Structure 1
């Protein structure tokens, strides 16, 4: 089965690099028209140009999703440029490392503002267009960290990703009468810029913990998000899909290597 989103209008936040750009590329290759959102207009437009070079209908837009007015402007731009909003991929997120002894209020506020408040504000801003779409889809990028696993230095990040799923379940109930679904992908360790920057030792340790013996790709995550956005997934809402190569399955590193 080949999933198609021909001429559907898609907004992807945090789309200038990494998983967000991977999601945007997968949707563009499926025929969607995509608005790539980043805090930087230059980065957003460069990413969109990269997709347009391969024949995609793609546009860049600058917004800080932790700001209500920016989210409203994002939704307005999507309607103006794409003709509406069929799919919102709320992907933007940050993951600065802070051990508990160094975790201050500013660090907590920063992560929650982008990862939780930003997700909620993005959804709310896009709701009128999603409801009128006739096939509205919301796909959140959560993580295995928080909802399922933990990792030292990311207690605030893990809390934010678990919070996204709490939001998802109630949002799914509220929006179901409007035919709008809300689901989430939970990536494990994905070979994106942010993970690569953590160093070779970290990459080696994480790869060893994955039964499939490789890190995920941004395309792996994009394909999962694409499924949730299709007509074939119209009766699925409030659900999560783990994309981790089996990372959460072993009870120990020895089990992963057995």
Structure 2
């Protein structure tokens, strides 16, 4: 068996559940030393414990992406314990379905601070480490809502995820001369707590819109993320990869 991430130090945000949790398990199986992060430390610890049971390398750490000081301290801690960072998966995100005319500044900022601001500033903090090594992989997680507007999601969520696509392209252009690949995965509907939290009628409507006739499994997203984070994708950067069951073809 080819182990694609052997000894690579990977950070996965939002890894307490859903896509982040499944990606952490996949990365562990591929030989990575995985920093399992989440604002929910208990949830991150549960993911890490599950990985340990399988013989994988995992370290749980709490991370609040809405606080820049917390981001800086987190990166310092990772460096002190592992000496390097090879891979960053910006998966953490807050969902919102507040109607446009009911949107408040607080609700707008709460989502933007994690989904967009947090994604950028964590990447910015880690980039100098990757530049020094002339190696690094960053994979950001956007959303179908970024491309077609919020259907089951709010304007703040859709806008934040559209911003993630722009951040991905800007970082990719900046980082390419240093041997760093920056890409994004754009899921549609996936079997996660976020999706299951939607009203049943919205779940049914979403499933009917998908040509493949079903929502994605978290591991299907995890495998796409793995590909972009591995050296199999060494000549791919600035790519916005749709993993959506055919619901949007462009």
TM-score (norm 1): 0.91
SS in 1 for 2:168: helix
Q: CA 1:249/1:169 → structure 2, altered by over 3 Å: closer, same or farther? A: closer
Deviation track 1:211-250 (CA, whole Å, cap 9, x = no partner) reads: 1111101111111111111112111111111111111149
CA distance in 2, matches of 1:70, 1:76: 10
CA distance in 2, matches of 1:100, 1:149: 12
Q: Does 1:245 align with 2:240?
A: no
Residue 229 of structure 2 corresponds to which residue in structure 1? 229
Where do residues 111-150 of structure 1 align in structure 2 (5 Å cutoff)?
111-150=111-150
Deviation track 1:88-123 (CA, whole Å, cap 9, x = no partner) reads: 001111012100111011111111101110001110
Residue 98 of structure 2 corresponds to which residue in structure 1? 98
Q: CA 1:153/1:242 → structure 2, altered by over 3 Å: closer, same or farther? A: closer
Query: Which segment drifts farther, 114-123 or 229-238?
Result: 229-238
Aligned residues: 250
SS in 2 for 1:130: helix
SS in 2 for 1:59: strand
Residue 64 of structure 1 corresponds to which residue in structure 2? 64
Contact 1:34-1:82 within 8 A present in 2 as well: no
Give, in angstroms, the shift of residue 149 of structure 1: 4.3
CA distance in 2, matches of 1:149, 1:205: 16
Contact 1:18-1:218 within 8 A present in 2 as well: yes
SS in 2 for 1:147: helix
Q: CA 1:162/1:2 → structure 2, altered by over 3 Å: closer, same or farther? A: farther
CA distance in 2, matches of 1:81, 1:39: 20
Deviation track 1:21-53 (CA, whole Å, cap 9, x = no partner) reads: 111111111111100111122221121111111
Residue 84 of structure 2 corresponds to which residue in structure 1? 84
Query: Which segment drifts farther, 215-224 or 71-80?
Result: 71-80
Structure 1 stretches of 4+ with a deviation exceeding 4 A read none
* Runs of 5+ consecutive residues of structure 2 not aligned to the other structure: none
Contact 1:9-1:83 within 8 A present in 2 as well: no
CA distance in 2, matches of 1:210, 1:3: 33
What is the RMSD computed on CA atoms of the aligned residues? Answer: 1.8
Contact 1:87-1:137 within 8 A present in 2 as well: yes
Residue 19 of structure 2 corresponds to which residue in structure 1? 19
Contact 2:96-2:156 within 8 A present in 1 as well: no
Query: Which segment drifts farther, 203-212 or 185-194?
Result: 203-212
Contact 2:19-2:218 within 8 A present in 1 as well: yes
Contact 2:18-2:193 within 8 A present in 1 as well: yes
SS in 1 for 2:88: strand
Give, in angstroms, the shift of residue 131 of structure 1: 2.1
